[in-house]
Amino acid sequence: MEKRESMWDVYLRKGMSRRSFLKGCVTLTSLMGLSTASLSKVVEAAETKPLPVVIWIHGHECTGCDESFIRSASPLASDVVLNDIALEYDHLLSAACGEPFEAHLEQTIQKYRGQYILAVEGAVSTKDNGIYCMSGGHTFTSMLQHAAEHAAAVIAYGTCAAYGGIQAAKPNPTGSSGIAHFVGRAPVVNVPGCPPIPEVMTGVVMHVALFGTLPPLDSENRPKQFYGNRIHDTCYRRPFFDAGMFAERFDDAGAKAGWCLYKLGCRGPETYNSCGNIRWYQGMSYPIQSGAPCIGCSNAHFWDEDPMSQRMPEYGPLGNVDKIGAGLAAVTTLGVVAHGAASVVQRNKREEEE
Amino acid sequence: MKEVTRREYYLFSPWLRIFHWIMVACIVTLFATGLMITSPWIIFSFEPTTSGMTVDNIRNIHFLAAYIFCAAFVLRIYGFITNPGDRLFPHVWKGYFYENTVDVALHYMFLKKEHASYLRNPLARCSYAFLYVLVFVEVLTGFGMYYMTNPSGIGGALFGWVITILGGEYMAHLVHHYVAWAIILFAIGHLYMVIRAEFMEGESEVSSMFSGSKILAHEPRDAGHLDGTLD
């Protein structure tokens, strides 16, 4: 096999300076959530490790995750794609198309057996043998199974690949589900979010690329460094929550003043993501900061947990559980009072008979 | 005036009684603060930060009550071990238990004039087991949500699986909230049943949770539980 380039080799070939290489490594180190002490390890890996081969396939989805990915600022998505990884196949970003392109996928799988990283966006459509999501004459399911069979690791980008996503919303006509059951024995990293934060996407692939291991994962196979905190616990509006200062409506003074959106159904208390600390667009903002309650887009089933602008589900004219509960409590009270009255009547009758 | 011969049966240990009243106080506190956490009230319409009852404080009261409740369960277990009168499991593995349950149920449905006398009514035993299931769900979902502020910590490791089983934290919040209402419905029924026992039979059902003794006019069917002649 020919010698494969490392990240440093790419920098040398392109005539880029050692300084810019080291700056890139510093960025990557902080992005992966590692301490500065790990910098030397990152530099060493970037100098010696061949660029990881990545195959990036797309299933049942909207490609919004790629829209997010190409907006990654540090590292730049273009740097990741052109200098930091060897992206051999990507449905969306590749210039090539048609049969030669499909043949190249097969070649890549055979050539880098057991070495490549498989990045997957989009859900698997399981109903009717998977005909609702086809690519190059094959179902996405079979393509995924084939590509995952020889993958070193699988990264599930987006809530679709992790949990099924919006197309899995009731009644889920296409039988969409996450990819976990279709990748065989390959280890899976879930990177949920609709879409995930750009820097989280690049951070995860770079971790796998540089260290050749998966980042530390939580019980749902999410990287701990990005999904280890609730948005609620990292939210800059949290002091308003603790102080009891809430926006009651989208157009009231509280909303204008930037108070907590909890009463408007914010899912921050139930959602694990980095929106509160990394934020979006180079740390400019995130939904809550712009006045929109979190909808919990990195949670499984978030699509069925409506209404998004209220804390609890409503059951038509019955209202939410607090109304139903109070109603049931009233009915129960009336019931026991009636039962009590009937019991007294029964007892009096019994005593008369005696 | 009526002359009735009654017999006193010492039943509930102080441990059970203390636990019972701690449980009452905790459940009332937990339910009230729980509702306030779900839909925070504007208690004082002026500056919320000066009210003292901030959401932060209400949550701390909720957590404190939860810890006290769990800690008090030690009393319940100690009473269960040392005093036969504290053992209130429904004896579903005994034939006579079903016979007695039907006897009581028929009376409650007004199909029978009265039921036999029991120290611990079989339907009440069932309802307590049901309550413990509800409380157990509350403890699991509660600690699940509470400790997941740090999913990598020991609490997260102990209770994180609850969130996974329920399919997410939103569902855990809903289950916690819905089951809280179920406990309140139980409490209404429980309160009624003990008061009813008091005015129907005059068997000191209410005061037994203070004094530990029941004073019965008839020989109870399950008296043998106390001296071990009936297992």
Nearest to A311 among B38, B172, B200 (CB): B38
Contact across the interface for B185 and A332, Cβ inside 8 Å = yes
The Cα-based distances of B108 to A349, B84, B123, B185 in angstroms read 15, 27, 10, 18
Q: Which residues of A touch B155 (CB under 8 A)?
A: none
Q: The domain B7-217 is classified under which CATH number: 2.60.120.920, 3.20.20.80, 1.20.950.20, 2.40.50.140?
A: 1.20.950.20
Q: What pLDDT, on a 0 to 100 scale, did the predictor assign at position B231?
A: 65
My answer on whether A158 and A262 are in the same domain is: no
Shared domain for A298 and A341, answered yes or no, is no
CA quadruple A284, A287, A290, A291: dihedral, nearest 10: -160
Model pLDDT, residue A126: 92
Q: Which residue has the tokens 């959106």?
A: A261
Amino acid B31 reads F
The shortest CB-CB distance from A233 to any of B149, B167, B168 is to B149
Same domain flag for A103 and A154: yes
Q: Burial level of A103, CB count in 10 A (0-12/13-18/19+)?
A: exposed
| One domain, residues A260 and A154 | no
Domain of A307, CATH number, reads 4.10.480.10
pLDDT at A285 over 90: yes
**Structural domain contains residue A90:** yes
Distance CA B24, CA B21 (A): 5
Confidence (pLDDT) at B46: 60
Domain of A245, in residue numbers: 229-311
Minimal CA separation from B224 to chain A, in Å: 28
Model confidence pLDDT, tens digit, residues B108-117: 888 888 888 8
- A255 is a domain residue: yes
Q: Which of B35, B53, B110 sits opposite A342 (nearest CB)?
A: B110
- Looking at the fold, whether A206 and A245 belong to one and the same domain comes out as no
Cβ separation A224–B188 shorter than 8 A = no
The count of structural domains within chain A is 3
Contacts of A347 in chain B (CB under 8 A): 200
What pLDDT shows up at residue B49?
61
Chain B, 161-200: which have a CB under 8 Å from a chain A CB? Answer: 161, 164, 167-174, 177-178, 181, 184-185, 188-189, 192, 195-196, 199-200
For residues A74 and A274, give the distance between their C-alpha atoms in angstroms, rounded to a whole number.
15
Residues 6+ apart with CB under 8 A from B50: B44
Q: Which helix (H) or strand (E) holds B7?
A: strand B7-10
Whether residue A209 sits in one domain with residue A243: no
pLDDT of A1 strictly over 50: no
* One-character DSSP codes across A269-323: GG-BSSTTTT-BTTTTB-TTTTT-----TTSTTGGGS--TTSSS---GGG-SHHH
Q: Give me the interface pTM, i.e. the ipTM.
A: 0.85
Q: So what's the pLDDT on residue B51?
A: 67
Question: If 0-12 CB within 10 Å is exposed, 13-18 middle and 19+ buried, where does residue B50 land?
Answer: exposed
Within-domain flag for A123: yes
pLDDT confidence of residue B115: 85
As a whole-number percent, the residues of chain B with pLDDT over 90 amount to 48
Residue with tokens 């008296």: B223
What pLDDT shows up at residue B50?
66
Percent of chain B with pLDDT over 70: 94
- The reply to whether A190 and A88 lie within a common domain is yes
Give residue A295's pLDDT.
95
Judge if pTM exceeds 0.90: no
Length of chain B: 231
- Mark whether A14 and A136 lie in a shared domain: yes
Nearest by CB to A325, from B114, B184, B192: name it. Answer: B184
The SS3 assignment for B132 reads: helix
Residues A248-251: contacts with CB under 8 Å, at least 24 apart: A250/A291, A250/A309
Mutate: best of B53, B170, B205, partner A, most A CBs <10 A: B170
- CA A265, CA A332: separation in Å to the nearest integer? 30
The residue among A196, A227, A258 that closes a domain is: A227
Confidence band, pLDDT 50/70/90 cuts, at residue B73:
very high
Q: Is the CB of residue B119 less than 8 Å from the CB of residue B225?
A: yes
Nearest CA to B186 out of B127, B107, B103, B113 is that of: B127
Minimum distance, in Å, between the CA of residue A333 and any CA atom of chain B: 7
Number of Cβ within a 10 Å radius of residue A257: 10
Residues of B in contact with A339 (CB under 8 A): 108, 192, 196
Three-class DSSP category at B209: helix
Rounded distance between C-alpha atoms, residue B13 and residue B211, angstroms? 9
What confidence score (pLDDT) does residue A2 get? 61
Asked if the Cβ–Cβ distance from A321 to B169 is below 8 Å, we say: no
Q: Contacts of residue A271 in chain B, CB cutoff 8 Å?
A: 169
Size of the A and B interface in Cβ pairs below 8 Å: 114
B interface test, pick of A177, A190, A218, A304 with most B CB neighbours within 10 Å: A218
* pLDDT single digits (tens) A16-64: 999 999 998 898 888 887 888 889 998 998 898 888 899 999 999 999 9
Same domain, A259 and A189: no
pLDDT value of position B80: 92
Q: Chain B partners of A344 at a C-beta cutoff of 8 Å?
A: 199-200
Residues in B touching A218 (Cβ below 8 Å): 151-152
From B151, which residue of chain A is nearest by alpha-carbon distance? A228
What is the CATH number for A204?
Answer: 3.40.50.700
- On chain A, the residues whose CB falls within 8 A of the CB of B40 are 244, 246, 262-263
Please indicate whether, in this complex, the C-beta atoms of A301 and B35 are within 8 angstroms of each other: no
Contacts of A245 in chain B (CB under 8 A): 48-49
Facing residue for A325 by CB, picked from B148, B149, B181:
B181
Largest CA distance in chain A: 110
pLDDT tens by residue, B2-45: 788 888 888 899 999 999 999 999 999 999 999 999 988 765 55
Last residue in a domain, options A227, A260, A295: A227
A171 plus A263 within the same structural domain: no
Nearest CB among B38, B188, B200 relative to A336 is that of: B188
Residue A321 lies in a domain: no
- A2 belongs to a structural domain: no
**To 10 degrees, what angle do helices A18-31 and A198-211 make?**
110
A238/A203 same-domain check: no
Residues of A whose CB is below 8 A from B141: none
Mark whether A199 and A263 lie in a shared domain.
no
User: Which segment of A160-169, A172-181, A208-217 scores lowest on mean pLDDT?
Assistant: A208-217
pLDDT of residue B91: 85
Give how far Cα A240 sits from Cα of A248, A264, A267, B149, B150, Å.
13, 14, 15, 18, 21
Minimum mean pLDDT range among A337-341, B120-124, B198-202: B198-202
Note the pLDDT tens digit of each residue in B36-61. 999 887 655 566 666 667 888 899 99
- Nearest chain A Cα to B107, which residue? A343
- Chain B residues 93-112 with CB within 8 Å of chain A: 108, 110
DSSP string, A142-203: HHHHHHHHT-SEEEEEHHHHHH--GGGSTT-TT-EE-SGGGSTTS-EEEE-SSS--HHHHHH
Show which of A193, A212, A227 is a domain's final residue.
A227
CA–CA min distance B96, chain A (Å) = 25
More confident residue, B205 or A157: A157
Q: In this predicted model, what pLDDT tens digit does every residue of A183-214 receive, in sequence order? A: 988 899 999 999 999 989 988 988 888 888 88
